[in-house]
Structure 1
């Protein structure tokens, strides 16, 4: 696996759920428009039924230069050998443009430890690295990681870590654990709304699913928030996890992750109403973050 750099992907990229619900033609048009705006990296989740690696392949085929990152491909959705076979094909077809982001996923698995499951999955993937045909370029992978042990696994067994819905303090802690060389990408939601009351209400609506699931509650505890702050969606938590305000305010706050040690920040625009497009916001952000 060769290294990933913020310079290669751009210091800032796009994280979006939008493509989960768009028809193929609209997806193609959108990714081409984003590429034309100068964005270098597009991060996609695996949530609503679109298979992660098929999805990544279609987006890669729709663009000419854009990097596509799975953020994340859930390890419970496919056997390691299937993940490996798909990743080999994408590395061969689009050298250097695909990053395989792996994660445990949000589904409960009683009795299964995420760290042990991820280590076992990586062992299986590594045992398959000699399969034929080999890709022209190496498979590049990162892990969704929050706690110290998973971050250490990301450092030791992959090119780095991808975090989701964390505060800037966590970015600094993650960089310390990863060391200076491992890649660190941080997703962060932004909301173009200057009114504090409305912004926080919309941000709480976005955060609500995460504030009510055991895995995320445990993560927020580790980030330093109290039980009461998590239960109520306190202003401090909301303001740390969603950057809201005008363009200048949002841009300044996104840069704090870079200052804390992130190589790359994947920006998720939230607060878009039904039938509306985030494209105007991507355009504004692309110009301001260039």
Structure 2
């Protein structure tokens, strides 16, 4: 990975990781078992979707559980909400962990969305102030151990100057290339690539649309990012156009998915966080399932090639 010259050495996230909401919201026992297996398969980083441990008490909850269940993998809560986790409490929770665990922890910060967060206001100013508070905490939470979930140019520049880097979600290769140019060769660029392990166009797109539906329905920030990428109101209407789905989701055979991942590395990514979306017993997309068979298949297809 790249390192920003004025940062302490950050945890080594490697090339390929797994992103999942199940780590945060799924069965706790299976989360620990899955984390240990993913590490054994060779995935370098486990990205915890949602807001793990995001509560005013300041404990990191599931993050600590997964650190204890693994030996080498970096554990990265992808979006700790600045509205729910006060900066001094977060810094204290970080330092309450054993030193050997802190060395494998990379904390992601996010501002959420106005449609789902009642306290949302002046996000750039609020996030800048939050980073100031982390810097002022005693002991402080190091810049190298935090990153931002950012999409727009202002937030991305903030990530590049105040944290280890940026972790964009639901983007396209052109966004990765543009972000690399924007932040330069220093900071970490670790986009999510969302995967559907299905070679049938109609069924793969149906699963992808089920996963995308909550973002289309109530996320103005994501919609703005897609508009900046060149998608139209027609693309964003209803359940998303085929053009939008095919750009945001890597679907198909393992080899085809490997090609899509390689495209992100060619665009400038340092690391790829794979989110596998799959059918579940309760509908066309189960966000809290552990798709362990797909994770194993992807490990065989990707880790030796990339």
1:9 aligns with 2:36: no
Match of 1:29 in 2: 33
**Is the alpha carbon distance of 1:57 and 1:217 closer, same or farther for their aligned partners in structure 2, counting shifts above 3 Å?**
same
Partner of 2:302: 289
Matching residue of 2:235: 229
- Give the alignment partner of residue 123 of structure 2, picking from 108, 114, 117: 114
Q: Give the count of matched residue pairs.
A: 284
- Are positions 1:274 and 2:281 aligned together? yes
Whether the aligned pair in 2 keeps the contact of 1:13 and 1:40 (CA below 8 Å) is: yes
Greater mean alpha carbon deviation, residues 65-74 or residues 18-27: 18-27
Q: Is the 8 A contact 2:52 2:63 kept in 1?
A: no
CA distance in 1: counterparts of 2:120 and 2:94, whole angstroms: 29
Q: 1 CA distance for matches of 2:149 and 2:231?
A: 21
Tell me the SS of whatever aligns to 2:108: strand
1:71 aligns with 2:78: yes
Give me the TM-score of the superposition, normalised by structure 2.
Answer: 0.86
* Rounded Cα–Cα distance in structure 1 between residues aligned with 2:54 and 2:156: 27
Moved over 6 A (4+): none
Over residues 28-55 of structure 1, what are the superposed CA-to-partner deviations in whole Å (9 max), with x where a residue is unaligned?
Answer: 2111111111111100022588768211
Extract unaligned runs of 5+ from structure 2: 1-6, 283-288
How far 1:74 moved relative to its partner? 0.8
Q: Distance in 2 between matches of 1:50 and 1:79?
A: 9
Deviation track 1:170-227 (CA, whole Å, cap 9, x = no partner) reads: 0001111111011011011100111111111211111111112222222221222101
Q: CA RMSD in A?
A: 2.2
Residue 111 of structure 1 and its aligned partner are, at CA, apart by: 7.1
Output the CA distance in 2 between the equivalents of 1:85 and 1:37.
32
Deviation, structure 1 residue 78? 1.4
- Which aligned pairs between 1:97-136 and structure 2 lie closer than 5 A? 97-106=104-113, 107-109=116-118, 112-128=121-137, 130-131=138-139
Deviations for 1:215-247, whole angstroms, at most 9, x for unmatched residues? Answer: 222222122210111114111110010110011
Q: Which residue of 1 aligns with 2:222?
A: 216
- 8 Å contact kept, 2:143–2:162: no
Correspondence for 1:188 = 193
Contact 2:9 2:144 in 1 (8 A): no
Offset of residue 88 of structure 1:
2.2
Which TM-score applies when normalising by structure 1?
Answer: 0.91
Greater mean deviation of Cα atoms: 11-20 or 105-114: 105-114
Q: CA deviation digits over 1:71-107, x for unaligned, max 9?
A: 0111111111001111223372414200011111233
Q: Distance in 1 between matches of 2:192 and 2:65?
A: 22
The answer to whether the Cα contact below 8 Å between 2:54 and 2:80 also exists between their aligned partners in 1 is no
Name the CA distance, whole Å, in 2 between partners of 1:260 and 1:95: 31
In the alignment, is the contact (CA less than 8 A) between 1:20 and 1:50 conserved in 2?
no
Structure 1 CA distance, aligned partners of 2:101 and 2:51?
Answer: 24
